[in-house]
Amino acid sequence: MLFLIILILSFICGFFLPWWVASVVAFLVAFFIGKTSLPSFWSGFSAIFIVWAALALLKTLPNDNILAGRVVQLFPLPHNWIWLLLVTAVVGGLVGGMAALSGVLIKKIFRS
Amino acid sequence: MKFVKAFFSVGITFLLIWVLETKLGDIPPLGEFLNPVTGFWQNAESKNIMPTENLRLKGLYGKVIIKYDEHRIPHIFAANDHDLYFAQGYVTARDRLWQMDIQTRSASGRLSEIVGPKALEIDQYHRRTGMVFAAENALKGMFKNPVSHLMIVAYTDGVNNYIHQLAPENYPIEFKLLDYAPEEWKPINCALLLKLMSEILAGGSDQFGMTNNLKRFGAQAVNDLFPDYPFHEDPIIPIGTKWNFKPLPIPKPSASFMAQMTEGIKTHEIIDGIGSNNWAISGSKTANGYPILANDPHLDLSFPSIWYQLQMSSPTVNVYGVSLPGSPCIIIGYNQKISWGVTNVDAAVLDWYQIKFKDDTKSEYWYNNQWSKVKKRIEVIKVRGGKPVIDTVLYTHHGPVVYETEAKKPPGHHGNIPVGNAMRWLAHDESDDIMTFHLLNRGKNYNDYREALKYYTCPAQNFIFASSDNDIAITPNGKFPLKFKDQGKFILDGSDPANDWHGWIPAEQNPTIKNPPRGFVSSANQSSTDPTYPYYINWKFEQYYRGKRINDRLGAMKNATADSFRKIQTDNYSILAQDVLPTMLKYLDRSKMNNDHLTALAIVTNWNKHYDANSVGASIFNKWWIKLYDTIWRDHFAVKGIILKTPSYDRTEKLLLTEPSSYWFDNVHTPAKESGSDIVNIAFNSTINEMVKKFGKPGHKWQWGLVKKTYINHLANLPGFGTGEFFAGGTGGVINALKNNNGPSWRMVVQMGPVVKGYGVFPGGESGNPGSFYYSDMFKTWKDGKLNELLFLNSATDNSKRIKSTLVLN
Residue B413 has pLDDT above 60, yes or no: no
Q: Which of A16-20, A54-58, B600-604, B631-635 has the lowest mean pLDDT?
A: A16-20
Q: pLDDT per residue over B151-201, tens digit each? A: 999 999 999 999 999 999 999 999 999 999 999 999 999 999 999 988 888
Beta strands at B747-751 and B292-300: parallel, antiparallel or unpaired: antiparallel
Euclidean distance between CA atoms B591 and B462, whole angstroms: 50
Out of A63, A71, A98, closest to residue B45 by CB:
A63
Distances (CA, A) of B59 to B62, B64, B316, B479, B540: 9, 12, 20, 36, 49
CA B64 to chain centre: 33
What was the pLDDT predicted at B586? 96
In B, which residues are within 8 Å of A91 by CB distance?
A: 20, 30-31, 34-35
Nearest CA in chain A to B10: A102
Range B685-710 average pLDDT: 95
Question: Is the pLDDT score of B376 beyond 70?
Answer: yes
Contact (CB<8Å) B35/A88: yes
The answer to whether the Cβ–Cβ distance between A105 and B46 falls below 8 Å is no
CB < 8 Å to B42, chain A: 59
Q: What's the pLDDT band for B274 if we cut at 50, 70, 90?
A: low
Report the residue of A12, A59, A87 to disrupt the B interface, i.e. the one with the largest count of B CBs within 10 Å: A59
CA B607/CA B601 separation, integer angstroms: 10
| Phi, psi of B99, deg, nearest 5 | -60, -45
Name the strand (E) or helix (H) holding B477.
Answer: strand B472-477
Position B424, amino acid? R
Residues in chain B: 810
Strand B332-334 to B421-425 pairing: unpaired
What is the mean predicted confidence (pLDDT) over B764-785?
97
**How high is the pLDDT of residue B271?**
53
Q: What is the mean pLDDT of chain A?
A: 88
pLDDT band at B230 (very low <50, low <70, confident <90, very high): very high
SS3 assignment, position A50 = helix
Within 10 A of B18 (CB to CB), how many other CB atoms are there? 11
What phi and psi values does residue B794 have, to the nearest 5 degrees?
-80, -30
Q: Which of B10, B30, B34, B173 to mutate to test the interface with A (most CBs of A within 10 A)?
A: B34
- pLDDT at residue number A26: 85
Q: In this predicted structure, what is the pLDDT of residue B578?
A: 97
Q: What is the ipTM of this complex?
A: 0.94
Convert the pLDDT of each residue in B568-580 to its tens digit: 999 999 999 999 9
Mean pLDDT on B320-341: 97
B771–chain A nearest CA distance, Å: 4
Query: What pLDDT is stored for residue B472 in this prediction?
Result: 97
Query: Bigger pLDDT: A60 or B362?
Result: A60
Looking at the partner chain, which of B3, B13, B35 has a beta carbon nearest the beta carbon of A102?
B13
**Torsion angle of C-alpha atoms B286, B290, B291, B292, degrees rounded to 10:** -70
Mean pLDDT of chain B: 91
- Set of chain B residues whose Cβ sits within 8 Å of the Cβ of A64: 47, 773
DSSP string, A72-111: GGGTTS-S-HHHHHHHHHHHHHHHHHHHHHHHHHHHHHHH
d(CA A70, CA B782): 21
Alpha-carbon span B805 to B810, nearest angstrom? 17
Domains, in order of start, for chain B: 575-707 (1.10.1400.10)
Residue of chain B whose Cα is closest to the Cα of A92: B35
List residues bridging with B299 in a β-sheet. Answer: B743
Residue B611 near residue B575 (C-beta atoms within 8 A): no
Mean pLDDT of B294-320: 96
Partners of B345 in the beta sheet? none
B311: pLDDT strictly greater than 80: yes
Local structure of B429: helix, strand or coil? coil
| Structure confidence at residue A112 (pLDDT) | 60
CB spacing of A102 vs B6 below 8 angstroms: yes
Residue A2: which pLDDT band, with cuts at 50, 70 and 90? confident
The answer to whether the beta carbons of residues B260 and B495 sit under 8 Å apart is no
List the single range of B230-244, B252-266, B729-743 with lowest mean pLDDT: B252-266
DSSP B727: -
When pLDDT is averaged across residues B682-690 and rounded to a whole number, the result is: 96
B51 to chain A, minimum CA–CA distance in Å?
A: 16
Chain-centroid distance, C-alpha B286:
31
Segment B59-87 mean pLDDT:
97
pTM for the whole structure = 0.94
Query: How does pLDDT run across B136-148, given as a tens digit for each residue?
Result: 999 999 999 999 9
Rounded distance between C-alpha atoms, residue B803 and residue B28, angstroms: 39
d(CA A25, CA A15): 14
For chains A and B, CB pairs below 8 A equal: 122
Contacts A73 to B, Cβ<8 Å: 719-721
Cis peptide, bond prior to residue B117, ω within 30 of zero: no
Q: One-letter amino acid identity for B110? A: R
Convert the pLDDT of each residue in B780-794 to its tens digit.
999 999 999 999 999
pLDDT at B85: 98
Four-residue CA torsion sign, B482, B483, B488, B493 = negative
Residue B634 above 50 pLDDT? Answer: yes
Structure-model confidence comparison of residues B809 and B9, the more confident one: B809
* Alpha carbon separation from B647 to B234, B630, B632, B638 (Å, rounded): 19, 11, 10, 12
- What is the tens place of the pLDDT at every residue in B714-733? 999 999 999 999 999 999 99
Could you give the angle at which helices B595-606 and B616-637 cross, rounded to 10 degrees?
100
What's the pLDDT score for residue B723?
94
Percent of chain B with pLDDT over 70: 96
Q: What percentage of chain A carries pLDDT values higher than 90?
A: 44
pLDDT at B273: 54
Distance from CA of B30 to the nearest CA of A (A): 9
- β-partners of residue B313 are B77, B318
Q: How close does chain A come to B304, measured CA to CA in Å?
A: 14
Q: HSE on the CB side for B679, CA within 13 Å?
A: 29
User: What is d(CA B768, CA B71) in angstroms, rounded to the nearest whole number?
Assistant: 13
Question: pLDDT tens-digit profile of B345-368?
Answer: 999 999 989 898 888 888 999 999
Burial bucket for residue B143 (CB in 10 Å: 0-12, 13-18, 19+): middle
What local confidence, expressed as pLDDT, does residue B103 receive?
A: 95
Q: Which of A64, A67, A92 shows the shortest C-beta gap to B35?
A: A92
Amino acid of residue B164: H
> Is pLDDT at B6 greater than 90 in this prediction?
no
**pLDDT 10s digits, B548-572:** 999 999 999 999 999 999 999 999 9
Q: Where are the beta strands (DSSP E) in B18-85?
A: 52-55, 64-69, 74-78
**Per-residue pLDDT averaged across B280-297, rounded?**
96
Nearest to B758 by CA among B327, B311, B277, B447: B311
Q: What is the pLDDT of residue B415?
A: 25
* B237-246, B413-422, B707-716, B773-782: the lowest-pLDDT one: B413-422
Q: What is the DSSP letter of B118?
A: G
Q: A69–B773: do the CB atoms touch at under 8 Å?
A: no
Interface residues of chain B, partner chain A, Cβ below 8 Å = 2-3, 5-6, 9-10, 12-13, 16-17, 20-21, 30-32, 34-48, 173, 177, 718-721, 770-771, 773, 775
| pLDDT over 70 (residue B256) | no
Q: CA–CA separation, B529 vs B511, rounded Å? A: 7
Contact B725, B640 (CB under 8 A): no
CB B317 within 8 A of CB B84: yes
Beta bridge partners of B391: B379
The residue type of B458 is C
Angle at B468 between CA B464 and CA B470, to 5 degrees: 75
